[in-house]
Each structure stands twice: as C-alpha cells, then as structure tokens.
C-alpha cells in the first residue's frame, strides 16, 4: 500500500499494482499497510478495511502531532553518508525511535567512495564529518557505495525476506541504494545542492518496492530533522544499546541516571565502559523529553 493524500496504489496478491481510493470512514492507510479492497469503478479500487498494524514508524511535527511514515516494519535502516554531513542528534533520535518500537536499527554508511578531509566539522559539534563508531557500541553497520566498491552486497542479506525502510537526511542516497538493489528500476535521484551540500529533496512520497531476492524495501523522503514523540522517561535509556547490561542495576528502581546516587550507568561512564558522549546524548534526550 502506497498512499498520496486521498488515494494510493495497492499491490494485489498476484503482484499487480492498482490505483485505489480511500474512504474517510475507513481511515487513511499508509505505506506498508495491509488492506482489503473492493472495486470502486472500472479502473480503480477502494480500500474497505485497513488490517491491524504490527507497528508503525511515526514522526512528530512542531505541534506534537504524530504522522505515520510506514507500517508493519521488521527493521529500520538509518542511512548516513559523508555528504551531506551527518547529524549525531538526528541519528540518536532515530535510534531511540526504532528501539522504542522494539525493532532493530541497522546503520547504513553510504558513499564510502567519497574522500573526507580529516577533522572537518560544520555547525559545531552536532554535525560530524566522521560518524562515531556505532559498530563498536553494538549496532549493525553496513558500509555501501552506489558508485564503486564495496557496492551494496552487504545489504542484501539483511534485507532478504523482511520489510525494511530506508530513512535519513535528504541526499544520503536512499533512492540510489534501491536503484542498485533493483536493477530495472530507475527512481529519480537528486544531486546535492552546491550551496548547502544537502540533497535536492527528490523523493516526495513513501514507496514500497519488492526486492528480487525476497523481501520489501520502503523508500522515504529525506528529512532535515526528525521529531520524536513523548516517551516515558524510563524508555529513553532503552534507546542506547550499550546501556543494556547496566539497566536494573542502579540503587533506585526508578533511577533516570541523571543525579541519583548509586547509579550503575554513571558508574559505567566513569569506568569508561560507556562512552561519555553517549551519556551526554542520553541526558540531552531525557531533558528534551520534558
């Protein structure tokens, strides 16, 4: 199911894609939704029912309204690249959002063919030329390039037989990766603008593609920011994969690892088992959660 406002495209059991309309009474389906359809007229169908969702990946806007990006996901692939410069803040919000759905984040580091001058930064510490080593923290990181080696071979096994979505900043190469994975497809991709180094926002709707080796992959429009919904404060620590061994070890059950005495997380930070920049990110997200 792919939707554009009041209508969309449904993929039928035989793989055929058909236009379909939505009914207000039924509610709007989103990409990845499973739906029941009936004929509306000679050329189009109408959605009669949206089946219950296993999960949905959402973002919130400035007014704290939630918007579903896609539904029924097995994993979220967060794509970063040396260009546009990665944002640590964006990455951490994404990681927290994915963890809180109880599904796996996979980090895809694309455009590994590009040379990056060492020590380059922009907009202060939050934007980094070199991604922190998320692999050593315990995350799955896959290195790809759509131009030369190592290519996209590493992606194929994680995508097989699963429903995945590519998310990330505009211009990191999400649509290009899908073009590499599905040879007959030619999704339009956009050059980075010279002025900002950001992508010219090319992908405007969220779209699901069938992969030739099995599984489906959703392309989504790039973002500059990602707003996370309000979480319970004790959920924030679950967004940090390497905190796990220490959770539940603090003196107080309801420890938020901020100023409480006997905190196992802070102990781990002082011993160097948890990196300080990750702990600072945690405190920032906790504070932003209000």
Ligand X SMILES: Nc1nc2c(ncn2[C@@H]2O[C@H](COP(=O)(O)OP(=O)(O)OP(=O)(O)O)[C@@H](O)[C@H]2O)c(=O)[nH]1
Q: Which residues of the chain form contacts with Zn ion (CB under 5 A)?
A: 250, 255, 257, 263, 265
Helical (H) or strand (E) element with 159: helix 153-159
177 close to 146: Cβ distance less than 8 angstroms: yes
User: Taking CB within 5 to 8 Å according to partner kind, which of ligand X, Zn ion, Mg ion, none is near residue 284?
Assistant: none
Helical (H) or strand (E) element with 260: none
Q: Could you tell me the two tokens for 105?
A: 């984040």
Is residue 87 within the footprint of ligand X (CB under 6 A)? Answer: no
242 close to 274: Cβ distance less than 8 angstroms: yes
* Shortest reach from residue 219's CB to Mg ion, in Å: 6
Instruction: Count residues near Mg ion (CB under 5 A).
Output: 3
* Shortest reach from residue 289's CB to Mg ion, in Å: 30
Q: Which residues lie closer than 8 Å to 54 by C-beta, 6 or more apart?
A: 71, 72, 73
Is residue 143 within the footprint of ligand X (CB under 6 A)? Answer: no
Strands 66-71, 56-60: pairing is antiparallel
* Shortest reach from residue 136's CB to Zn ion, in Å: 23
Strands (E), 87-201: 104-109, 121-122, 127-128, 140-143, 163-168
Q: At what angle do helices 88-100 and 276-289 cross, to 10 degrees?
A: 70
Interaction residues for Mg ion, span 168-187 (CB under 5 A): 174-175
Please identify which residue in 97, 142, 146, 274 interacts with ligand X, judged by CB under 6 A.
Answer: 146
Pick between residue 106 and residue 237 the one whose CB is nearest to ligand X: 106
User: Taking CB within 5 to 8 Å according to partner kind, which of ligand X, Zn ion, Mg ion, none is near residue 110?
Assistant: ligand X
20: region left, alpha or beta (phi > 0 left; psi from -120 to 50 alpha): beta
User: Taking CB within 5 to 8 Å according to partner kind, which of ligand X, Mg ion, Zn ion, none is near residue 265?
Assistant: Zn ion
Please identify which residue in 87, 145, 163, 216 interacts with ligand X, judged by CB under 6 A.
Answer: 145
Please identify which residue in 113, 135, 234, 242 interacts with ligand X, judged by CB under 6 A.
Answer: 113
Instruction: Count residues near ligand X (CB under 6 A).
Output: 24
Interaction residues for ligand X, span 212-251 (CB under 6 A): 221-222
Is residue 191 within the footprint of ligand X (CB under 6 A)? Answer: yes
* Shortest reach from residue 191's CB to Mg ion, in Å: 12
Q: Which residues lie closer than 8 Å to 170 by C-beta, 6 or more apart?
A: 84, 190, 198, 199, 200, 201, 202, 221, 222, 223, 224
Strands (E), 40-196: 45-50, 56-60, 66-71, 75-80, 104-109, 121-122, 127-128, 140-143, 163-168
Pick between residue 59 and residue 174 the one whose CB is nearest to Mg ion: 174
* Shortest reach from residue 168's CB to ligand X, in Å: 6
Residue 287 CA to residue 281 CA, distance in Å, equals: 10
The 151-190 site mask, x for binding ligand X (CB under 6 A), equals -------------------xxxxxxx------------xx
- Contacting positions for Mg ion (CB under 5 A): 174-175, 203
- Contacting positions for ligand X (CB under 6 A): 110-111, 113-114, 145-147, 170-176, 189-192, 199, 201-203, 221-222
């Amino acid at each position: 199911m792919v939707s554009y406002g009041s209508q969309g495209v449904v993929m039928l059991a035989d793989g055929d894609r058909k236009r379909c309309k939505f009914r207000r009474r039924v509610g709007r389906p989103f990409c990845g939704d499973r739906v029941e359809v009936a004929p509306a007229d000679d050329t189009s169908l109408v959605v009669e029912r949206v089946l219950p969702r296993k999960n949905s990946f959402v973002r919130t806007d400035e007014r704290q309204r939630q918007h579903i990006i896609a539904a029924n996901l097995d994993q979220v692939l967060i794509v970063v690249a040396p260009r546009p410069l990665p944002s640590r803040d964006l990455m951490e919000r994404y990681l927290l959002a994915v963890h809180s759905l109880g599904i796996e984040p996979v980090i895809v580091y694309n455009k590994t063919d590009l040379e990056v001058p060492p020590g380059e930064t922009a907009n202060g510490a939050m934007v980094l030329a070199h991604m922190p080593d998320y692999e050593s923290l315990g995350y799955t990181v896959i290195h790809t390039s759509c131009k030369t080696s190592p290519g996209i071979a590493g992606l194929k096994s994680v995508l097989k037989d699963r429903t995945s979505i590519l998310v990330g900043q505009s211009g990191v190469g999400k649509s290009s990766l899908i073009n590499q994975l599905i040879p007959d497809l030619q999704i339009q991709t956009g050059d980075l603008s010279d002025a900002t180094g950001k992508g010219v926002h090319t992908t405007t709707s969220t779209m699901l593609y069938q992969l030739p080796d099995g599984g489906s992959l959703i392309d989504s429009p790039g973002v500059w920011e990602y707003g996370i919904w309000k979480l319970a404060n004790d959920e924030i620590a679950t967004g940090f994969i390497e905190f796990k061994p220490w959770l539940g070890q603090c003196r107080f059950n309801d420890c938020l690892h901020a100023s409480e005495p006997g905190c196992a997380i802070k102990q781990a930070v002082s011993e160097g088992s948890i990196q300080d920049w990750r702990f600072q990110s945690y405190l920032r997200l906790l504070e932003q959660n209000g």
